Amino acid sequence: MGNEVRPMGLRETFEALSRESDLSRLADFLNDQNISDVAELADGEKDLAVLIMSQLEVQRAAGVFKILDLSAQKHIIQHLPPQKTAELLNELPSDDRTAFLEELPNEAVRELIKLLHPEERKITLAQLGYPEESVGRLMTNDYLAVEDDWTVREVLQHIRQHGKDIENLDVIYVVNRQGQLVDDVRIREFLVSAPDRPVHDMLDGRYIALNVHDDQESANRVFKMENRVALPVLDHNRVMLGIVTIDDVLWVANEEFSEDMQKMGGTEALDEPYLEIPIIKLFQKRVVWLIVLFLGEMLTATALSYYENEIQRAVVLALFIPLIISSGGNSGSQASTLIIQAMAVGEITMRDWWHVMRREIISGLLLGSVLGLIGFVRVVVWSQFFPETYGEHYVFVGLAVGCSLLGVVIQGTLTGSMLPLLLKKMGADPAVSSAPFVATIVDVTGLVIYFTFAFLFLEGLLF
């Protein structure tokens, strides 16, 4: 019955079985479905999620649990019977368990740690002891290692005995008697080799490994460059501690992308889904940056007050202020978005700052020239139909506007491209150099550039 039920009818069938209160049939039905379909069903209502998790076999329950969002996971752990909670936590892979526990308050972690088997507790405490953004938080002990003085026959026998519960058997890791990684060998090499062949004859020493203290962002880059599904994790003495799999790295990359998008929008990263985060917490996440940006924009008002007399004598200049500052802000936002994204995927490093600056100067010149020409033509053409708007000196007004656009666009591209690199150099997150933040900086400098060119071209004419 289970495999014939389409996802479209999954919820209806589940609800019908729930109304019948036949837990045996309900459990059989749930255990016969795809894990992704059950997870989608559990993701709808939290109370249903608890019922579903309580009826699933523990292995399937762990598979569903690790792909649910954090709020659903917390609700499940809070409402599951203690025995089922203990079974679930012990069944979870160590990396997924650590990822869940690190999001909980310390008091809750201490209570849940008590439910783990001694060996699982030891592994979890060790992983929680590593820095938050390190590879150590992602690694799992779900791998097979063999010694370099074994034969292929011994390796295959080891795989038969211990490989049943190993998720990833594509690669077998070879260690020496001290536990240090010697090499990694694909399982197919063992399958096609003679049984008496020594393992050390199959090694070439060309393995790729991560250090347990590497940051997760660098691990993401290694996976991307090396095209691997799993990588070994070593300590400073090359002792193998575990492996990191591609699914965990992709999960982290997705979370970091979401955080960066929120920061680039001018807010702190949200720790919970938008619809579930308390309003007061959402307010706290947003108000700080709004205050910072507001104070920054006050500098724009200060700059305008500095040129108040000039604006009163040449009111026509005020007409172009929104045009000038928005063009600078837009060009800066473009540049910052491109640079932050390129840094996130490893296309740009700190060593490339000069190449970035050179490219952005050229880009600023080209983009600014186009906008400046359009601004100049607009003033000249408009004056042919409405001569009273800009007066008899419309050509000089057009030149002031065109040159100002060229200047603010260059300034915007340089600010937007260099600020993320500067923040990275200072140890800060480049994503905080968001589009609103760059625009605020460029607004002030844009006004200075604009009135500088206005004085240059119009002094003695309008002033």
Amino acid 106: pLDDT: 83
| Alpha-carbon span 251 to 137, nearest angstrom | 13
How many of the other CB atoms lie within 10 Å of CB of 153? 14
Q: Which helix (H) or strand (E) segment is 240 a member of?
A: strand 240-245
> Which residue carries 């575990």 as its tokens?
242
| Alpha-carbon span 399 to 310, nearest angstrom | 17
Residue 354 contacts by C-beta under 8 Å, 6 or more apart in sequence?
none
pLDDT above 60: residue 7: no
Res. 266 pLDDT band, cuts 50 70 90: low
Largest pairwise CA distance in the chain: 98
Angle at 372 between CA 368 and CA 373, to 5 degrees: 120
Structure-model confidence comparison of residues 260 and 439, the more confident one: 439
Contact predicate 436/296, CB 8 Å: no
Contact predicate 307/453, CB 8 Å: no
Write out pLDDT tens, residues 55-82.
Answer: 889 889 888 898 888 888 888 898 888 8
Res. 151 pLDDT band, cuts 50 70 90: very high
pLDDT above 90: residue 405: yes
Amino acid 41: pLDDT: 82
| Alpha-carbon span 123 to 125, nearest angstrom | 6
Average pLDDT in the chain: 82
Contact predicate 125/101, CB 8 Å: no
Angle at 301 between CA 418 and CA 375, to 5 degrees: 65
| Whole-prediction pTM | 0.60
> Which residue carries 């205050």 as its tokens?
291
DSSP E strand stretches across 24-175: 145-147, 171-175
CATH number of the domain at 7-129, out of 2.40.128.20, 3.40.50.300, 1.25.60.10, 3.30.465.10?
1.25.60.10
The residues that bridge with 183 in the sheet, in sequence order, are 174
| Alpha-carbon span 432 to 263, nearest angstrom | 5
pLDDT above 80: residue 385: yes
Q: Which amino acid is at 161?
A: Q
Angle at 234 between CA 167 and CA 348, to 5 degrees: 95
Amino acid 42: pLDDT: 80
For residues 16-35, one letter each, b for 16 or more C-beta atoms within 10 angstroms of the residue's C-beta and e for the rest, the string is ebeeeeeeeebbebbeebeb
Write out pLDDT tens, residues 272-303.
Answer: 666 667 788 777 777 777 777 677 677 777 77
292: number of CA atoms within 13 Å, CB side?
A: 16
- For domain 145-246, give the CATH superfamily: CBS-domain (3.10.580.10)
Write out pLDDT tens, residues 306-334.
Answer: 777 766 666 777 888 888 888 888 888 88
pLDDT above 60: residue 270: yes
Question: 103: which DSSP letter?
Answer: T
Helix (H/G/I), strand (E/B), else coil: 231: strand
Contact predicate 139/242, CB 8 Å: yes
| Alpha-carbon span 249 to 227, nearest angstrom | 12
Average pLDDT over residues 347-360: 88
Q: Which amino acid is at 287?
A: V
Delimit the domains of the chain by residue range: 7-129, 145-246, 279-458
Res. 210 pLDDT band, cuts 50 70 90: very high
| Alpha-carbon span 344 to 260, nearest angstrom | 9
Write out pLDDT tens, residues 191-207.
Answer: 999 999 999 899 888 88
- What backbone phi and psi angles, to 5 degrees, belong to 29? -65, -50
Average pLDDT over residues 160-189: 87
Contact predicate 240/173, CB 8 Å: yes
pLDDT above 90: residue 373: yes
Contact predicate 335/359, CB 8 Å: no
Amino acid 274: pLDDT: 64
**CATH of segment(s) 279-458:** 1.10.357.20
- If 0-12 CB within 10 Å is exposed, 13-18 middle and 19+ buried, where does residue 118 land? exposed
